[in-house]
Structure 1
Amino acid sequence: MSSNFHTHSVYCDGRGTLREYVDYAVAHNFDALGFSSHAPVPFNNRFALRPDRYEDYCREVRALRDEHQGRIDLFLGLEIDYIPGLLDNFEPLVRQGGLDYFIGGVHLVAVPGESQSDNPDERAERLWFIDGSRQETYDEGLQRLFGGDIRRAVTAFFRQSNEMIERTHPPVVAHIDKIAMHNRGRYFSTDEAWYQLLLGETLLLAHEAGCVVEVNTRGLYKGRHTDFYPSRRALTDMNRIGIPVIVSTDAHAPEELDRTEGAYTMLHEMGYRNVLERIDLL
């Protein structure tokens, strides 16, 4: 692996300073490293970059880039959560930071058609958190917000992803089928026709928008999933329609930078035609 564009440091929910990430990347012969802290969100939380630290984050990335010029290429980015009514316009964050790139993703799923409070913290309480280490959080949100209707909940995830792609045209789409992570085959099968139809619609929109879709390995090396995001089945469809991919480890610590879990070998063996090492900059 010679590059990684999906990383999280002490500025958000990761472990390790930016310098520690750079040191690890240089020691392991990386050509390029992108920083993609979780973007600030307008409600109280424990996972995202604080708004009052955004300028510090941008300044430190640029200083490290200047310091390491000629040894490794460093890029300034964010992973931005698309949250209807709370964070659905990425342009102000992109402009403020002068970002090189951003990754668009959905971790918090809104309930479609639900009346919303004017208080951002109260609105955040009505979001289904599909990520994290606790399967119980996924289960509780499914019951509380969607009455246990998994098909309605999964549809909401993919519709929100579609809206993000259509409105923001992210250079990279993060873990496009992560909704399956905490399912673990309990509520639905990813082979079911309705699920494949929803995923297929999202993949086609990503293709039409010119997005790169990441092959995210974190679920595998953390033991939370049995496949990549997207799955091998989805990657077969993506290869057929010509969606470019980039392998990322979604690192939350420097030593996770090269945890590719055989992704490059898998892509080579399946004959994937468009595997990128770098992404187009803004």
Structure 2
Amino acid sequence: MLTDYHNHLERGTLTLDYLKQFTDEAARKGIEHFGISEHAYHFYQTKNILSNPWIEERRYYDMADYVRLFHEAWNAGIDVKMSIEMDYTPGKHDEMAQFIRAYDFDYVIGSIHWVDDFGIDLAEFRKEWDRRDIYDTYRKYFDQVVTLAESNLFDIIGHLDLVKIFKYVPEDEEFLLEQYDRATTALANCKTCVEISTAGLRKPVGELYPDPRLLQMCYDKGIPIVLSSDAHVPQDVGADYDKAVALAKKVGYTEIMTFSKGERKAVPLG
């Protein structure tokens, strides 16, 4: 069994024709469980959760149109899960919970893209990495992983170590492993699964998310996984899944999670 639960329509249109390009690619690659998880910041309904100048330039969707698209797909016999990828925002737990409860999502992804006012994975902010203390950024990033887990609002945490995207990684391995340890300890005590994401292979870091040492900690602490490609174009659906499956099996995983209307079920890893 294979899943691809982290995918985006934002470079195209919220139309059945464009959605079908993604689901057709998933079918071609033998992915039985496929979902779309558009960035929540694109929607007017999340303005009270996260707002900054970069976000506001990209807020142009209405949730009514998004939900309508999935109903069109289901009525057309297309098997696609409805999800959202939320930017985890400290101090906005009540607002995030209210938004999540307002829609009948199959699952919800929580991700960390912002450390204070720093968009850690955005090309526009890349030079900030040279201006900031890398240890401070990493500590604050993993602080958010911990509180994301403790919120228990999310079914999946997206690209767990996204913070490495531009290859800025602390040289002190003990410090890094300490961050991994406290993150996985928090995740082991909540409902949130970890995705093995192939997106990192298409980024400057050139690696899967998460780091093998981090994934090994996930396995050792009993944290379930899903597989995701984080595709922003149809051809990236299921990209490099041979590498993701190989890593999962190498650290010991034999099962992945599937989701439907918030309920999760373990199935054998394909």
Shorter-chain-normalised TM-score: which range? Answer: 0.7 to 0.9
Q: Give TM-score scaled by structure 2 length.
A: 0.82
Q: Percent of counterpart pairs with the same letter?
A: 25
Counting only pairs closer than 5 Å after superposition, residues 8-47 of structure 1 correspond to structure 2 as 8-10=8-10, 17-40=18-41, 41-42=46-47, 43=51, 44-45=53-54
The alpha-carbon distance between structure 1 residues 58 and 86, as it changes in their structure 2 partners (threshold 3 A), is: same
In the alignment, structure 1 residue 251 sits paired with structure 2 residue 231: yes
Aligned match of 1:195: 176
DSSP 3-state at the match of 2:126 = helix
Q: Which runs of 5+ in 1 are unaligned?
A: 111-126
Q: Which secondary structure state, in structure 2, belongs to the residue aligned with residue 235 of structure 1?
A: helix
| Counterpart for residue 161 of structure 2 | 177
What residue is the counterpart of 1:100 in the other structure?
106
Deviates more, 1:21-30 or 1:148-157: 21-30
Given that 2:155 and 2:193 are in contact with CA atoms closer than 8 Å, whether structure 1 keeps it comes out as yes
Q: What is the letter of the counterpart of residue 129 of structure 1? A: G
Q: Counterpart of 2:10 in structure 1: which amino acid?
A: V
- For 1:140, the aligned partner's letter is E
Helix, strand or coil for the counterpart of 1:209?
coil
Please, which of 76, 80, 96 is the counterpart of residue 74 of structure 1? 80
Post-superposition shift, 1:51?
A: 6.1
Cα distance change of structure 1 residues 209 and 56 upon mapping to structure 2, 3 Å threshold:
same
Determine if contact 1:62/1:76 at 8 Å carries over to the other structure. Answer: no
Does structure 2 retain, via aligned residues, the 8 Å contact 1:37–1:49?
Answer: no
Partner of residue 116, structure 1: none
Superposed, 1:215-234 pairs within 5 Å as: 215-220=196-201, 222-234=202-214
The alignment's C-alpha RMSD in Å is 2.8
The match for 2:134 is 150
| Matching residue's letter, 1:245 | I
In the alignment, the residues of structure 2 paired with residue 53 and residue 216 of structure 1 have an alpha-carbon distance, to the nearest angstrom, of 27
1:211 to 192, 195, 205: 192
Tell me, yes or no, if the aligned pair for 1:39 and 1:48 is still in contact at 8 Å: no
State the match for 1:122 in structure 2. none
3-state DSSP of counterpart to 1:206: helix
How many residues end up aligned between the 2 structures? Answer: 252
Contact 1:81 1:87 in 2 (8 A): no
1:241 aligned residue: 221
- Maintained 8 Å contact 2:196/2:225: yes
Name the stretch that deviates more: 240-249 or 27-36: 27-36
SS at match of 1:97: coil
Q: In structure 2, the residue corresponding to 1:73 is in which secondary structure?
A: coil
Quote the residue 1:59 is aligned against: 68
CA 1:17–1:255: 2 relative to 1, 3 Å: same
Matched with 1:263 is 244
Distance 1:180 1:128 in 2: 14
Q: 1:98 to 1:88 in 2, by over 3 A?
A: same
Runs of 5+ in structure 2 lacking a partner?
A: 263-270
Q: Whole-Å Cα distance in 1 between the matches of residues 114 and 32 of structure 2?
A: 33
User: Relative contact order: is structure 1 or structure 2 higher (C-alpha 8 Å, sep ≥ 6)?
Assistant: 2
Distance 2:229 2:32 in 1: 16
Residues 1:130 and 2:123 are matched in the alignment: no
Using the size of structure 1 for normalisation, the TM-score is 0.79
CA displacement, residues 41-85 of structure 1 (integer Å, 9 cap, x when unaligned):
4235469974652110111012102212xxx53111100001224
219 and 251 in structure 1: CA distance in 2 versus 1, 3 angstrom threshold: same
Query: Which amino acid is the alignment partner of residue 167 of structure 2?
Result: N
User: Quick check: 1:13–1:252 contact (8 Å CA) kept in 2?
Assistant: no
Whichever residue aligns with residue 30 of structure 1, its letter is I
